[in-house]
Structures are given as structure tokens and as C-alpha cells.
Amino acid sequence: MTHESSSRRAAGILLHPTSLPGNAGIGELGEEALRFVRFLRRADQRLWQVLPLVPTGPDGSPYSSSSAFAGNPLLVSTGRLVEEGLLEEGPEPTPEDAPVDYPRLISSRRELLYRAFTRWRPDDNFLRFREENAFWLEDHALYEALREAHGGRPWTRWEPALRDRRPEALKRARRELAEEIRYHQFVQHRFQRDWDRVRSAANTAGVQIVGDLPIFVSHDSADVWADRHLFRLDDRGEPAAIAGVPPDYFSETGQLWGNPLYDWERMEREGYRWWVLRMKRALTLYDAVRVDHFRGFEAGWEVPPGEKTAKNGRWAPGPGRKLFRRLEEELGELPVIAEDLGEITPEVEELRAGLGFPGMKVLQFAFSSDAANPHLPHNHTGNWVVYTGTHDNDTTAGWWHDASPAERSFARRYLGREFVSVWDFVRLAYASPADRAIVPMQDLLSLGSEARMNDPGNPEGNWRWRMSREALSEELAGRLRDLASTYSR
């Protein structure tokens, strides 16, 4: 999905699996996911973009995870567990499109999965999975078991011997928590089985999966605990500086993400081993990878600990081309999409272009200035991916409702229409010279701000949206099919 392989035009849909319908309280990697794949095929869609499939915390954010390698237990198909006799019945039914209630769901789903675990017996497939994924699975399962044993407290507040990973303490923990460790390995095996089935069905239907790789990892994660030396931390394991972005379109005070920063010099000395393993894992899950916050590889915004906003930060150099050249040496040509939104400098653009990665164009950003705006379709070229909006934007209907008079006037002139609908922007994306056009499911359904996936800077009510079963109608499939045919996608 980069270099020569980027020349073929295609269209797709952005829909995180948690937003699939069903009575389990959250979208799962079961029948509804396979049904969505069948819809993509009928609609001549060749791309399905998802958000990170990693475990989430109580707020549901897939960008704040206890592991950069593991799968989300909430996505495990309870339907398949019932079919295979590991559960007598699934979760208590909820309305099929009810918003996800993460705190309640995390507790109830853990109980359900543990019940299935007690009936399960390991087989050769599990043993092979455990062996092939030992490079991340062992630390993840141990970390999760230890965190539960410590009442959910972060690893920096565990007893020093475990916090600092002293060999004797780890050996004792593996012995005492053996059953809990195996439970977490079981959950990851189930996730992998379910996802492999969905991805295989997608690929058979001619659909590529576009995944998402956040640049940073959470401080309270197996990743930082297991490889503490690769991060900029103090003697107690606390961040010496934290990641974010300066004030921009999304926030007047910037975004203070709170992630620890990498020790890029140490990573380079180790041949970027950790990043090689991370990208290797991503490429076992996805056909292509959207790398979030690509500009951070050129320079990252670092904020001193204790700051309340991201205003008082500074740009610190990243690894640049050296990292990606190392990844290509180990893994071959990288099917990467660079998320190059925000404050982009000539140096960031040079890095992206030099690597041959396609960047992103967002139509909601296109009408805020004049005809030179790089997000306007007439300024697109082939090696780009065009979106109506991203998961961090309002829906296009919500954006249009709140757009300034100047934006509305320019959009009407550009479209040649006085009465503008969401589908005018969908058509604009399909007509773009950009090789790939991806539209969030909410925009295809012309939904308003109530269906927004994430509102950066606002910690409440994100990641909860789900669609109804009726959304995947034959009428919608036909409309998308016509657009794909008309614009050779």
C-alpha cells in the first residue's frame, strides 16, 4: 500500500469493530463482523479501516492501552464461545445499537470469559500461538495478572522487586499466578482466532484491513514495565517528560496525552528491536497500517511532568528516516499510511515523501482558507488517502452544522450547489485524484454530532457509538457501488 502498490484506486469505510451492532453490549468479532465484510463486498468497498484493536481502559480509548501488542478482550466473540460449548449462554442482552458502557462491560465480560476459561482445555493451536507470540505474550499475561493482584494499581506502585523486575520476584509471581497468567493467554488466543477468521473473510472478499498504530504507548502498560530502559523515566519509573501536541485545530491549549517519551538513542543502539517487533506484530493483524502522529518521528512535542496543559512544551528530535530504514531492512516494504495532520513542517513532509508513504487529506479541513488549501481535492495527487473526516473529527453533518459562514460559502461555490448534503462530500472524496478514499460509517449514514466517535480534549462520552443492523441496507450498498464504479474505485 505504498510506492508502486499505491497506484490502484480504491474506496473503503472507517468503522471500529466496537461500533458493530449486536446484543452483547459492544461490537464483537463474530457474526456481525462477518456480516459487515459481506456488506463491503456487495458495496464494492476494498478497504476496511479500524482503530487500534488493543485492550482499552474504562474510558474505552484504543489509544490508551495496557499493551501495544495484545488484542482487546471485549472483542472476543461470545457467540463462538457458546457455539463451542465453552459458555452455556452469552452476555445479558442489550439493545443492538446501545452505546458501549465500558466500565460495566469490562467487569461483566471478564467474568464471562473466565467462566469459558474454566471449561477450556489447551490444544495444539493454543500451544503454537503461545510459542509464536512469546515475545510479547509472556510479559503481557504476567503484567495483567500482577496488576489484578495489586488491585489495578499502576506498576510504579507495586512492591519494588516487582516494579523493577528482579528475577527472583518474577519467578515467584509466575509460580503463584500461573492460573491467572494462563487465563490471559487464553483470552489472547481467542481474540487471535476470531480476528484471523474475520480478516481471512475480508481478504477472500477482496477487502484489505487498514489498521492503526499509535506512535506512543501508555505509561501503565506491559510495554513500559517490561522495557523500562527504552523510555525516558526517572528512578521510580515515572515519566521524565510526557507526550502531547501544541495548541491546534482540535484544542486551544493543545493535547496533553500523558504518554512517556522514547529514549530514541537507546533504541537506536539496540537496532530499534522493540519497533521491529511492534511492526512485525501489526503486520500479522493488518494488511496496511496507518501510523498515528507520524510527525512525532521527525520531532515530538514534549511537556515537563506536572503541567496541566500542553502549552509549555518543546519540539524534541525523533529518529527520522533511520527507524523506517531499519524496519524495511527487517520486514521489507512497509504498507504504511502516514497520519500527517496537525502542525506539519517542511521537515516532516520531506520525511514522509522521502519514505514514499501516502499521507492524509481531510475534506472537513478543506474550506477554511482558499483555493490553495492542500485538503481541497484539486490539490490532491495519487499517493494520498482522502477522508471526509477522521475518528477525531465531528461527523460531517455535525461539522457542516457548526461550520462558519465563510466555510459554508466556499463549500457551496466549490461544489456548485446551494443545498449541500453529507453525500456531496462523500462524492467529492470518491472523485479525488487520491488513490484511496475512506469514509467513516457515520458519514455514510448522514449522522450528526451524537454519533461522533471521539472529541479530543473532552474525556467524557467517547468511543461509545454503535450502528444499527438496518444501517447495512441494500440501498446503501447500491449507492456506494455506483460511486465506486463512477470514479473507478
- Residues that are catalytic: 292, 339, 392
Q: Say if CB 396 and CB 443 are below 8 A apart.
A: yes
Of the candidates 339, 357, 355, the one whose C-alpha atom is nearest the C-alpha of residue 294 is 339
User: Between β-strands 436-440 and 384-387, what pairing exists: parallel, antiparallel or unpaired?
Assistant: parallel
- Contact between 448 and 397 under an 8 Å Cβ cutoff? The reply is yes
In angstroms, the CA 303 to CA 314 distance is: 7
Residue 394 gets which letter from DSSP?
A: P
CA distance from start to end of the chain: 15
- One-letter identity of residue 361: K
Beta bridge partners of 387: 362, 438
Residue 210 backbone dihedrals phi, psi, to 5 degrees: -100, 115
Spatial distance between the Cα atoms of 105 and 415, rounded to a whole number of angstroms = 44
Query: 80: part of which helix (H) or strand (E)?
Result: helix 78-83
Contact 258, 243 (CB under 8 A): yes
Amino acid, single-letter form, for residue 325: R
Q: What is the DSSP letter of 440?
A: E
What does the CA dihedral 113, 114, 120, 126 come to, rounded to 10 degrees? 70
Helix (H) / strand (E) containing 117: helix 102-119
CA angle 120, 24, 214 (to 5 degrees): 85
Give the Cα separation of 432 and 376 in Å (integer). Answer: 9
- Are the C-beta atoms of 372 and 344 separated by less than 8 Å? no
Distances (CA, A) of 344 to 129, 384, 392: 41, 16, 17
DSSP state string for 316-385: EE--THHHHHHHHHHH-S--EEE---SS--HHHHHHHHHHT--EEEEGGGTTSS-TT-TTSGGG--SSEE
